């Protein structure tokens, strides 16, 4: 066994040790204001990750407020009633800690990472930014310009721009067709009052889950969280669950840009994470486009030399998701490359995958999953995220077995049930006149 393989298995074994300890000892609490708290003790290192999930995201947005979650998230670290933006970051940096935010379709999060000795600082600052952010006027305008610049800069990436086109073509006016970062026209119109109203409505204890993983005593940490978060009252609000619609009959969108290569995305609507077919799709996706031994890579790059980038992905969503095969290729190979993706997907419908492909895909998924759980931050993320989107924190413990249970017949059935009438997005160079 070569050194690289030995190193990989050492990492996986370390991940197994780290993640299996106290998986059955995840403590679940509700504060008096309905804030849910998940605590997983991990004595193997002294790092503590506190991850707060807010049940917001572009999933709940409409066209007239698209990007408001992302805007509010970025403002959380710009100042509170008692701290400036510098004081927020400096308080944690002084002890080697981290505070950061992220926004996605199905959630928003703000998290801290510190040592266990500095956890009081982390909790106090996290509570301050979650409940006392004051949205300074000058910072709102600065952030507005930054967000618009980021949106425009992202379109310089052919892949990101093409994926944006694909989602719009597949989901239309449904919220999954809206970009997480927002629309520049909408961002320009959102006022400071709009941001504050959204913040006060949805950033409330009963719309949050806090996940903590690290070297902590559960009863002690609950008291600390209750002291810092318990004074905020739960708040009632009305919000309808959006209806996610997907394109029927498929759709193809093509745009021309000042680019040298063509980018092609071919995709199909799939299922939510709570569907029994979800782990089966993950295995099939790995066979189709994960890594240099995947079917797309071998067929379109190794054998035909069509691709400078090729693969597939299937994002995890609380509602109707999608599977996408993608390829970057020279313009004159566009049609052949597009048809090549469709042919490889149709092969999954026609023939059973081999036992070797199936086992390799499962092992790859499980190995990556365990390695991704090495850090307390990632463990906290999985627990909180699964709880937020409705499958429960114990899904983190069940996922590996679900992957192991997938058969080659499952893969074939899922391909036949979901893969018809593809949605296609293409970016290609402008034609020379």
Cα gap 19→379, rounded to integer Å: 8
Own/partner contacts of 153-157, CB < 8 Å, gap of 24 or more, are 154/181
Query: What mean pLDDT comes out for the span 87-107?
Result: 96
> How confident is residue 20, by pLDDT bands cut at 50, 70 and 90?
very low
pLDDT above 80 (res 10): no
Q: What average pLDDT does the chain have?
A: 93
Query: What mean pLDDT comes out for the span 173-202?
Result: 97
Q: DSSP code of 61?
A: -
In CATH, the number for domain 24-229 is 3.30.830.10
> CATH 3.30.830.10: which residues of the chain?
24-229, 251-429
> How confident is residue 198, by pLDDT bands cut at 50, 70 and 90?
very high
Choice between 308 and 105, residue whose per-residue pLDDT is larger: 105
pLDDT above 70 (res 245): yes
Query: What mean pLDDT comes out for the span 314-320?
Result: 98
Task: Give the pLDDT confidence score for residue 204 in this predicted structure.
Answer: 95
Does the domain made of 251-429 have the CATH classification 3.90.1300.10?
no
> How confident is residue 25, by pLDDT bands cut at 50, 70 and 90?
confident
């Amino acid at each position: 066994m070569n050194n690289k393989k030995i190193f990989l298995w050492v990492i996986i074994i370390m991940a197994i040790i780290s993640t299996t300890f106290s998986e059955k000892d995840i403590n679940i609490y509700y504060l008096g204001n309905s804030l849910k708290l998940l605590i997983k003790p991990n004595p193997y290192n002294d790092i503590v990750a506190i991850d707060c999930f807010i049940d917001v995201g572009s999933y709940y947005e409409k066209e007239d407020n698209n990007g408001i979650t992302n805007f509010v998230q970025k403002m959380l670290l710009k100042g509170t009633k008692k701290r400036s933006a510098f004081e927020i970051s400096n308080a944690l940096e002084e002890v080697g800690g981290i505070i950061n935010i992220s926004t996605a379709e199905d959630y928003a999060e703000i998290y801290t990472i510190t040592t266990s000795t500095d956890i009081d600082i982390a909790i106090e600052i996290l509570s301050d930014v979650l409940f006392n952010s004051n949205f300074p006027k000058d910072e709102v305008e600065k952030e507005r310009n930054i967000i618009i610049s980021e949106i425009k800069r992202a379109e310089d990436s052919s892949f990101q721009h093409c994926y944006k086109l694909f989602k719009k073509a597949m989901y239309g006016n449904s919220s999954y067709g809206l970009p997480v970062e927002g629309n520049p026209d909408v961002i320009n119109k959102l006022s400071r009052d709009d941001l504050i109203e959204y913040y006060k409505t949805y950033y409330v204890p009963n719309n949050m889950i806090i996940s903590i993983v690290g070297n902590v005593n559960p009863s002690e940490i609950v008291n600390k969280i209750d002291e810092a978060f318990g004074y905020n009252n739960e708040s009632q609000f009305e919000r309808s669950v959006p209806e996610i619609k997907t394109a029927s009959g498929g759709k193809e969108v093509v745009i021309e840009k000042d680019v040298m290569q063509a980018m092609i995305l071919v995709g199909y609507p799939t299922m939510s994470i709570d569907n029994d077919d979800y782990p089966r799709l993950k295995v099939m996706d790995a066979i189709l486009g994960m890594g240099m031994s995947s079917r797309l890579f071998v067929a379109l790059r190794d054998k035909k030399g069509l691709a400078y980038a090729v693969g597939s992905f299937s994002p995890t969503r609380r509602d109707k998701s999608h599977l996408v095969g993608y390829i970057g290729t020279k313009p004159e190979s566009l049609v052949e490359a597009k048809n090549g993706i469709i042919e490889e997907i149709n092969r999954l419908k026609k023939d059973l995958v081999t036992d070797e492909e199936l086992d390799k895909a499962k092992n790859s998924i499980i190995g990556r999953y365990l390695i991704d759980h090495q850090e307390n931050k990632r463990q906290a993320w999985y627990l909180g995220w699964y709880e937020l989107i409705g499958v429960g924190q114990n899904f983190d413990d069940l996922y590996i077995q679900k992957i192991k249970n997938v058969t080659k017949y499952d893969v074939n059935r899922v391909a036949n049930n979901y893969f018809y009438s593809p949605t296609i997005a293409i970016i290609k160079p402008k034609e020379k006149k």
